[in-house]
């Protein structure tokens, strides 16, 4: 885009900064009015599509990627790192990418809490819909029995109760659909935030590509693939799987310092016969809160910090 621009008319500030504005398509779950309001920059009091800006400092050699919302940083930051590595890493000397600032854990925890709350809303809506559908079926059966009887008993306003139950079925059905859309939106935001956190962890602790792949596999950055089943109770979600993965990693690969001869931080225990050891699989239950998961994420960052700077 900058190559096609008129360089003569570009000011000095234009050459050192570029902004990207996010727009959503109609088929995207984030295009709903509720989602668009949440994934926007509300600093001016009015909802507007989120933007992400890249600022370049020619004197210090630093890039600043900023946005009012955390998930908007992922795409631009990842593309910036890929282009810098492609342009300069192959040359003599090359460059080394670093991230010096503290990790945005508080914003990431907010994305985790929102995703968990969206899952709770889906489970609650599906439970209410199941109860009202059960009531509607019972009323239907009672009415059918009375209609088939040669001497039916009085209805006693069962028809009115059936109409009210039918209206409630439609109401709770719409609530389930809205909750599922919100869950999809929160999953997308959490996926972007988790991928951004994995990238920042790599840059801050100087991890290799293999180590980044291992960290991403434990954090499950592809969050959108989880929790999108028809019923919330059918499969384990992101919180359960990530909590179990981080617990295993903290007890094994991050429980001791990084070996000097190995290029990877993450290693798994092997017994004398050369077979990977593992604990028996246990059923993953839905967590009531995300406090344990957030503590394990903080502990993982602390362990990586001590390993990297020892």
Residue 240 tokens read as: 């359960």
HSE-up of 130 (CA within 13 Å, CB side)? 9
Q: What are phi and psi of 185, to 5 degrees?
A: -65, -45
User: With contact defined as beta carbons under 8 Å apart, do 131 and 175 qualify?
Assistant: no
pLDDT in tens, 1-49: 555 555 555 555 566 888 888 876 543 433 344 444 444 444 444 445 7
| Whole-number pLDDT of residue 46 | 43
Mean pLDDT of 179-184: 88
Please state the domain extents for the chain. Answer: 1-97
CA atoms of 192 and 186, how far apart (whole Å): 10
Residues 6 or more apart from 292 whose CB is under 8 A from it? 243
pLDDT in tens, 121-170: 999 999 999 999 999 999 888 888 877 777 767 777 888 888 999 999 99
CA atoms of 22 and 72, how far apart (whole Å): 8
Three-class secondary structure of residue 63 per DSSP: strand
CA atoms of 173 and 88, how far apart (whole Å): 54
| Whole-number pLDDT of residue 22 | 83
Cα-to-chain-centroid distance, residue 14: 33
Residue 21 tokens read as: 């504005």
pLDDT in tens, 79-131: 998 888 887 766 665 678 888 888 999 999 999 999 999 999 999 999 999 99
What is residue 40's DSSP assignment?
Answer: B
Residues 6 or more apart from 214 whose CB is under 8 A from it? 253, 264, 265, 266
User: With contact defined as beta carbons under 8 Å apart, do 292 and 243 qualify?
Assistant: yes
Q: In what order do the strands lie in the sheet with 62-67?
A: 17-21, 51-57, 62-67
pTM of the model as a whole = 0.75
Mean pLDDT of 273-295: 73
């Amino acid at each position: 885009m900058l190559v096609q621009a008129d360089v003569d008319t570009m000011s000095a500030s234009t050459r050192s900064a570029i902004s990207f504005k996010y727009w959503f398509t109609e088929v995207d779950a984030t295009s709903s009015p509720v989602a668009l309001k949440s994934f926007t920059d509300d600093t001016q009091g009015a909802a507007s599509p989120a933007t992400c800006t890249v600022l370049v400092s020619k004197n210090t050699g630093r890039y600043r990627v900023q946005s009012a919302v955390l998930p908007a940083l992922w795409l631009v930051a990842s593309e910036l790192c890929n282009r810098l590595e492609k342009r300069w890493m192959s040359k003599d000397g090359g460059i080394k990418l670093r991230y010096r600032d503290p990790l945005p854990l508080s914003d990431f925890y907010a994305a985790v809490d929102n995703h968990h709350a969206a899952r709770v809303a889906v489970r609650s809506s599906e439970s209410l819909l199941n109860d009202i559908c059960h009531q509607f079926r019972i009323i239907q059966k009672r009415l059918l029995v009375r209609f088939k009887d040669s001497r039916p008993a009085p209805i006693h306003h069962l028809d009115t109760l059936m109409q009210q139950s039918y209206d409630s079925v439609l109401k709770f059905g719409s609530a389930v659909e809205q909750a599922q859309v919100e869950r999809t939106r929160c999953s997308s935001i959490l996926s972007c935030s988790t991928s951004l956190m994995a990238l920042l962890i790599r840059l801050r602790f100087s991890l290799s590509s293999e180590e980044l792949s291992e960290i991403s596999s434990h954090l499950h950055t592809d969050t959108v693939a989880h929790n999108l089943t028809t019923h919330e109770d059918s499969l384990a979600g992101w919180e359960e799987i990530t909590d179990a993965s981080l617990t295993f990693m903290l007890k094994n690969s991050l429980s001791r310092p990084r070996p000097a001869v190995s290029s990877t931080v993450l290693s798994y225990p092997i017994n004398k016969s050369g077979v990977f050891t593992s604990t028996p699989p246990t059923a993953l239950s839905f967590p009531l809160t995300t406090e344990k998961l957030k503590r394990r994420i903080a502990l993982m960052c602390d362990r990586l910090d001590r390993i990297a700077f020892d």
